[in-house]
A and B are shown apart, each in its own frame.
Chain A
Amino acid sequence: MTKAVSPLGEAWGQFLRNKPAVAGLALLIVIVGFVLYGHFLFNADPYRIVWGPLTAPGEREGIPLGTDFLGRDIFVLLLKGGGPTMAVGLSAALLTVVIGIAMGALAGYFGGWVDDLLMRLTEFFQVLPALLFAMVLVTLFAPSLVTISFAIGIVSWPGTARLTRAEFLRIRELEYVTAARSIGAGNSRIIWKVILPNALPPLIVSAALTVGVAILFEAGLSFLGLGDPNTISWGQMIGQNRNFLLEAWWPVAIPGLAIFFTVFAVSLVGDGLNDAFNPKLRSR
């Protein structure tokens, strides 16, 4: 007999056949490896001034990517700034997914007034201009990695909530939900153990893409000077050097490229997951 393959295992097999997605995953592994190395193993003070300000890449040996407007080594800043950037991306995405799934699941499963209430709340957060609202939150609570992640999570969950709700509305009508009820399963078991596992594929995709969006969001806030002043992040590097853009492109372009490649890799992986979970889209 054939070996039992779980639906997740099958999707993984499908994912591995998708070349852009695998390339994205490889790129992501390289970037994450670089960031982890910089955060945990690489010992150098990123704030140390190593040479004159705005030294071009390759101009001087030992400073491969040049220096920023204060003369700090961009390569070292890049290594040290990746960790906070990714931490914000991941924790904001996690918060988005947790709030979004909780709201969407309850609204979609119970319907009625619960649905009305939660959806009005979702709409309230959805119509607020996300960046402005995040800026208000960050300035209110003093910028730190935690408040920034929190602010990004708070402005991004409505999309996940709507997606979750739609999935729950569809799945709760299926016969295996009635069947689960007929063996005596209660509401919480049906929500978390019967419906949610079946609703996960689109949510995994959306969570992956949210990581990319959150990293961009953090960069945006830092660019506007609302990043955590005590922590180096890629977005902050861009923000601090933007006044010198006309004299030196590299202190802005290099962290910009780092963000670009990270988000690009995450999107490729997210798209690959989407194709892997949606066999119907595969042929297109």
Chain B
Amino acid sequence: MNFWKDPIQVTADWLMSLFTGWGMAEGLANILINLLGIVILITIMLVIDILLVWIERKVVARFQDRLGPNRVGPFGLIQPFADIIKLFIKENITPVGVDKVVYNLAPILSVFSVLILWAIIPLAPQILGVDLNVGLLYLVAAGAIGTLSIIMAGWSSNNKFALLGAFRQVAAMISYEIPMVVALLIPTVLAGTMGMLGISQAQQGMWYVFLSPLGALIFLISAVAELGRAPFDLSEGESEVVAGFHIEYSGMKFGWFYAGELLHAFTFGGFWGILFFGGYHFFGLENWGPLVAAAIVLFKALIGYWVIMWIKYTLMRIRIDHMLAFNWKFLVPLSLVVLMVTALLNTILRDASTWILGLSMFLSNALIAWITIEILRSRSRKERENAEGLAQPTMEAAQH
């Protein structure tokens, strides 16, 4: 078999013959090969994570009209590695009164909840950990462990700010999980499977962003909230709760929270690309080989990550009552309407051609968006009139 056609299988076969040649049992050799693959995959993800620090700092610098790191190495590329070394040799501080086991477990679980997502991401038809038939629910389950890690960090720190920040973050994460799950149901309806590979393959002809632009938008918004990044980063509002749930963490323990957040953003960019932007499909370029396909997926993940950064550095932080109202009174009803319309149209137009299906889906989404905007406009006009009606007498009083 050609190495470039299927690099993972070829390497695995070669290792298998090597290990069995040493007199190892086949089952044990199989487990060992899988273990090796997992360690390599996670290590690659952590190295990408280090580079993400550099990308994040460069991009935020550009957004704020600065240069960013540019002293250590070409374009400051060595800077994140220097940061990592600094984190490692920082003193290991455990504040008094913390709950030691829970306190040390929280950063591990935080980054764990992100790393395990890469077990199901299909980088190419041949390069993927495992194609679970419950892939999307696995994504939600990993998010549940992330939520748990935050509440553990906030509670064990023995600090009121940390606990308050953790509560806010958890309230945001569990609230925005509902529209996210509904947005995940939309590709499930369209592809007829929850497996990530199946969803990638089903977008051969048409990316789902054209079939359900609103679904893609809702997924992006709830992903940003799930990440706890601006405009939903009130868990770490500096002026109120200082740094939120990781206020008492320093050194490598803080490093894991930070790395986990960046890798989480990148991973959600990847999920956005796979679920709505065709996965490894890119105008037939994926036929050049699995390595090209993997590069396409990572490139789409980077684009998604860039969009999340763009949102973060453009919008300001919102208040917690606004955040929860936006979710429960706007996103949840809207996402449920989009889901119902998608399911209905997908079944009615089952035998129609791809173009008719795509056009009607797109138009129905546009119609829903227009109706939503009209409702919002009339509501806000009414509120404005109420506010002006209240303000009118005082204005007149001031004139007299």
Q: Is chain B found bound to chain A in the same assembly?
A: no
Residues of chain A whose beta carbon lies under 8 Å from any beta carbon of chain B: none
Residues of chain B whose beta carbon lies under 8 Å from any beta carbon of chain A: none
